[in-house]
Amino acid sequence: MKTNPFSPSSPSIPGMFAGRFDEIIAIEKILLQTRANKGHGFLLLGQRGIGKTSLLNFLKYQAEGSIETVEETLNFLVIEIDITKDTNQYTLIRKIETALKRKLAKTEKTKKLFSDIWGFIGRVEAGGFKINTSKDSDSELLFEDFSYSMADTLNRITNKNSTSIFEASYDGILLIIDEADNASKELQLGSFVKLLTERLQKEGTQQLMIGISGLPKTKEILVESHPSSLRIFEELFLDRLNDQDVRYVLKRVMEHCEVLNQETTELPKESEDLLVKLSEGFPHFIHQYGYCAFDLSDGKSISVANVIDGAFGRNGAIEKIGDKYYRDDYYNKIKVDSYRQVLSIMAEKLDDWVSKKFIKGKFKGSETTLNNALTALRTRGIILTKEGSQGTYRLQDKGFAWWIVMNHEKDQKKQQSV
């Protein structure tokens, strides 16, 4: 049995940088600017499955020096933070402190120094501080202590004129904040990063580079928290790969397959064309459809039948993609059947633009209910609105439409069997 070369569950996959050259170069430039004490950040936006995490992994290795940039090798201290809906400013500060401590406090001497610089954390915990219930003045003092501790840490690890007591010297710190679309209003993420950057500037150090990644709505979250927060970021939007880039990814995977199994597996042109069409330019989809197709093949060649059965069959790629990306939107974000009825009507047109008139002609309910459904689906980011055209909507991708149709058919079969 051959090992499957497709990796839908891993962010580090063959061909994962296809079509991302411009974004990589843009972030390389920001890294070099940060090293020169002229740091700012980047805002990496894109839909689910578009490859944000894979690109962040590459940038992490590049910043750390494991992978060279176009011109040279860098040496940044990289810390990675994930945000959940429960993250507040205190827990975010603790996450950053914990990540720094893990990287810098490795000996008794460095542990003591780190404790001296970040001692305010211990005082806060000893006092039973809870940011959600404390006075605004206490929250401000916590942020002040955090900012000064970050400035002291940066100054110590980036000073090239003396030996760092932390026994290591760096070009700066790269702070990666992923899943930023989960940020709550209480976190005030935009205000947090904007004020931190300004405070570090006043302390004379700008060797902190902040990289924030999330769904497109992350931009709105930052602006709502602080209208000027976007000024400190270079905005990078990851779009779908074009067909040529998708074919390059498939080529790299099949080359990896030969190395992995010491034997060639053929991907005929017809099968490749179908995988390109199904994936819709989403890197994760390429690997999920490919994985399921390879799994059904004889290991010598991936046929068109393998691709079709792997995509639409029981426990196939569409079902797996749907469970990961669509199920929450369809069942948890909306609790009303009439809203799901709108999605089912739109799914008839896949991801083409659909007019409200078309939806209304098939909708079983009042116009008020329809209006409420469309408003809710737009607000929750489940459907997209066409710019400059009132009353025109579409689903985010064909995969969502296929999953809705398959799911609707399953529900009907269940009802008929009762």
- Residue where a domain terminates, one of 237, 263, 294: 237
* 235 exposure class (CB count in 10 Å sphere: 0-12, 13-18, 19+): exposed
Distances (CA, A) of 342 to 348, 349, 355: 10, 12, 12
The conformation of residue 266, written as its DSSP 8-state character, comes to: B
Residue 328 lies in a domain: no
Q: Kindly report the three-state secondary structure assignment for every residue of 221-236.
A: HHHHHCCCHHHHEEEE
- Range 241-247 contact pairs with CB under 8 angstroms and sequence separation of 24 or more: 241/18, 241/19, 241/281, 241/282, 241/283, 242/19, 242/281, 243/276, 243/281, 245/18, 245/19, 245/281, 246/18, 246/275, 246/276, 246/279, 246/281, 246/286, 247/272, 247/276
**Mean pLDDT over residues 401-414, rounded?**
76
Q: What's the number of domains the chain is made of?
A: 3
pLDDT in tens, 89-133: 999 999 999 999 999 888 788 888 888 888 887 776 655 555 444
The model's confidence at residue 416, banded by pLDDT at 50, 70 and 90, is: low
Q: What is the pLDDT of residues 389-400, one digit of tens each?
A: 889 999 988 889
264: containing domain: 243-318
Residues 378 and 286 in one domain: no
From its phi and psi, is residue 139 left (phi > 0), alpha (psi between -120 and 50) or beta? alpha
248 and 233 housed in the same domain: no
* Average pLDDT of every residue of the chain: 89
pLDDT of amino acid 301: 97
Work out the pLDDT band at 410, boundaries 50, 70, 90: low
Answer yes or no: do 208 and 106 share one domain: yes
415 in a structural domain: no
pLDDT band at 163 (very low <50, low <70, confident <90, very high): low
Q: Are residues 293 and 148 in the same domain?
A: no
Q: Are 15 and 183 in contact (CB under 8 A)?
A: no
What pairing do the DSSP bridges indicate for beta strands 354-355 and 233-237? unpaired
Instruction: Identify whether residues 258 and 272 lie together within a single domain.
Output: yes
> What is the pTM for the complete model shown?
0.84
Query: What per-residue confidence (pLDDT) applies to 131?
Result: 47
Which residue in the block uniquely carries the two structure tokens 């070099």? Answer: 32
The verdict on residue 416 lying in a domain is no
Looking at the structure, tell me whether residues 151 and 205 fall in a common domain.
Answer: yes
169 belongs to a structural domain: yes
Q: Is residue 40 part of a domain?
A: yes
What's 394's domain CATH number?
Answer: 1.10.10.10
- Evaluate whether residue 15 is within a structural domain: no
Q: Say if residue 118 is in the same domain as residue 170.
A: yes
Within a domain: 188: yes
Same domain for 214 and 273?
no
Q: Angle between the 304-312 and 269-279 helix axes, to the nearest 10 degrees? A: 20
Q: Are residues 306 and 189 in the same domain?
A: no
- The residue among 237, 269, 294 that closes a domain is 237
Rounded mean pLDDT of 242-256?
95
